[in-house]
Amino acid sequence: MTAAEFRSIALSLPETEERAHMDHPDFRVGGKIFATLGYPSAGWAMVKLTPTQQQLYTIAHPDVFLTIKGAWGRRGATNVRLRAAGAWLARQALTDAWRNTAPKRLTAV
């Protein structure tokens, strides 16, 4: 997975826009961040999961997902090692993060 592929998947989700936060590209829905690129450094990304989702991803794929230290991590902020993530897994994590953040009118199916 490359940063360009991660960006493409994020931007394919409904009503997602790319902005920047603390000098990192971020992806927002309804004005709220659900993912970023380049944190903590190039080759990494972050997805905003629930603590339960975070636990499941980090246990099932410890080579791909890592809990961010501190309060943000305890709330579900999870790093993604892009080189280790495949497209399917990255899409699943981004979709979960998007659903966690998107307005209810977008997630109601």
The 10s digit of each residue's pLDDT in 17-62 is 999 977 889 999 999 999 999 989 999 999 999 999 999 999 999 9
Contact assessment for residue 28 and residue 16, using Cβ atoms and an 8 Å cutoff:
yes
What digits encode the pLDDT tens for the residues 51-84?
999 999 999 999 999 999 999 999 999 999 999 9
CB neighbours of 93 closer than 8 A, spacing ≥ 6? 47, 49, 57, 65, 78, 80, 85
Q: Give the contacts of 29 (CB within 8 A, at least 6 positions apart).
A: 13, 14, 15, 16, 17, 98, 101, 102, 103, 106
pTM for this prediction: 0.94
Beta-bridge partner residues of 46: 36, 79
